[in-house]
Amino acid sequence: MKSLEELRAIKEKMKASVNDRNDNTDKIRVVIGMATCGIAAGARPVMTAFLDEIAKRGLENVTVTQTGCIGMCKLEPLVDVFLPGEEKVTYIKMTPEKAVRVVNDHIVNKNIVSEYTIGSAE
């Protein structure tokens, strides 16, 4: 951030892009952990990357929301992806670059990026 105006512009963009937490079973939901642990680990740029990539691709059936602490602080930033009729997938240690790949592979092409998931940490 270089100025207060830039911060305000980002805030307005986020407010306009982040939808209310509606239980739309026909929509894909991306939920990003934005508690202090997530923010400290880099969740804001991850959220921005999801929003930018979804907008760039014109994906209207995807809702991006934020939540508080998911409870696994050492694995932050955490992102849950809910596809209609499928199990939730939790992605760990996310980066903006990983977010772009998750949009392409998982959200668009329905292929889970298993090396970024909670199962990969075990």
The CATH number for 38's domain is 3.40.30.10
- Domain count for the chain, please give it: 1
Q: Which domain holds residue 28?
A: 23-121
Higher pLDDT, 119 or 33: 33
Region 47-75 average pLDDT: 94
Classify the C-alpha dihedral 116-58-20-38 as positive or negative. positive
Separation CA 103–CA 106 (nearest Å) = 6
Tell me whether residue 7 is in a domain.
no
Separation CA 89–CA 64 (nearest Å) = 14
Separation CA 99–CA 94 (nearest Å) = 7
Region 37-47 average pLDDT: 95
Higher pLDDT, 56 or 9: 56
DSSP 86: S
Are 40 and 77 spatial neighbours (Cβ–Cβ below 8 Å)? no
